[in-house]
Amino acid sequence: MKILIASDLHWPTINGVATFSRNLAQGLAARGHEVLVIAPSQIGKRYNEQDGDYEIRRTASVPFPFYQNFRISITPQKEVKKIINDFGPDIIHIQMLMWIGQAAMRYGNKYGVPIVSTNHAMPENLMDNMRLLAPVARPISYMLKEYGARFHSKADFVTMPTQSAIDLFSTSDRMSVPLEAVSNGIDLSRFKPTKAPSAIYEKFDLPKNKKIVGYVGRLDAEKHLNILVEAFNQLHDQQSHLLIVGDGTEIERLRNLSEILGISDRVTLTGRVSDEDLVSLHKVPDVFCMPSPAELQSIATLESMASGKPVVAVDAGALSELCQDERNGFLCEKDDIERIARSVDRLLSDDDMRQKFAAESLVIAKTHNLDETLDRFTKIYESLLA
């Protein structure tokens, strides 16, 4: 099949959409399909790029002010139209309902190309980063959800990564097109419950003889990472260490907060890391913590679970499907600093509980194998072509 993936966020950007769209492209190409990705340029000007076995057509872009190091294509219609005409896809798979996604939907509909549309984002992902709009966040969130329902209704098949995501949007009764929960999936051959290499501790100056609490992902406002830092400050184990992996608009705020709380010597903020280091850093923490209330699945949490980690997470979004309370971790109310601190303390102080929860994390993670995700999307594509 000739598969066109349209994504307004793509590698080397680090977030769930970018990670999934790249995993999808690489996985489908490895299976012998001809895959082409349309994504924003990383330098402003359009260019073509090869990423392993698939090609990326980069469209002209400008910086996006609400996220660090993100670029967006605001007027890609002519470029997208030409790419579709030149490539002649059998299937178009849209990852976002922004500008590239809108153009791909428009011309896919016009040319009669079957379209699969996947929704990865919640309105909160944007609204929490636009603090000036906080007084009108609720009506804007409602309008964004309504717009999302109308956008996805133009596709031939719609997916979301979890059933909880479908329930949150309550779109199934507004759309006549098929709607299904298909996990983003993770590569279980990469993320394994093995010991972290000694070199990774040395590279990032991490203590080997202390318990470590970890987070991996973007450092942006909707992730509520200030809550994690404040909860860490309340832990009984004052020798423990906090490892925050990733980059984003909040990184300086988190550094300043650590200084104010007097715990900067116990907090490591790595900034952006390589793919290889990311895999190794997932092996380091004793407990993984996800304070974000705006997750439609959370690939980072899945990767941590596949690396054999118990989880403390917020009981919001779709996280309860991954962090199952008192099975492989603890769920806490949004921004409940004391409850998050108590939950992390329980796990750090109880080796048997950590091991038991870690084993359950592995069991749950194995149900999200990327190979099964690729199988399912291939069958969806084939059914639309048939």
How much is the pTM?
0.89
Which pLDDT belongs to residue 173? 58
**Whether residues 15 and 58 fall in one domain:** yes
**Whether residues 211 and 335 fall in one domain:** yes
Q: What is the largest CA-CA distance in the chain?
A: 62
pLDDT in tens, 317-360: 899 999 999 999 999 999 999 999 999 999 999 999 999 999 99
| DSSP structure class, residue 247 | -
Strand, coil or helix: 129: coil
Which pLDDT belongs to residue 251? 95
**Whether residues 269 and 347 fall in one domain:** yes
Which pLDDT belongs to residue 122? 66
**Whether residues 175 and 316 fall in one domain:** no
Residue 192 belongs to a domain = no
H/E stretch holding 62: strand 62-63
Residues of the chain with pLDDT under 50: 125-137, 139-140, 172
**Whether residues 264 and 165 fall in one domain:** no
Residue 193 belongs to a domain = no
**Whether residues 290 and 323 fall in one domain:** yes
Q: Domain span at residue 34?
A: 2-185+369-385
Q: With contact defined as beta carbons under 8 Å apart, do 161 and 368 qualify?
A: no
Which pLDDT belongs to residue 17? 92
Total domains in the chain come to 2
pLDDT in tens, 128-151: 444 444 444 454 455 566 778 889
Which pLDDT belongs to residue 133? 42
**Whether residues 130 and 211 fall in one domain:** no
Domain with residue 117: its CATH number is 3.40.50.2000
**Whether residues 241 and 339 fall in one domain:** yes
**Whether residues 229 and 139 fall in one domain:** no
**Whether residues 116 and 130 fall in one domain:** yes
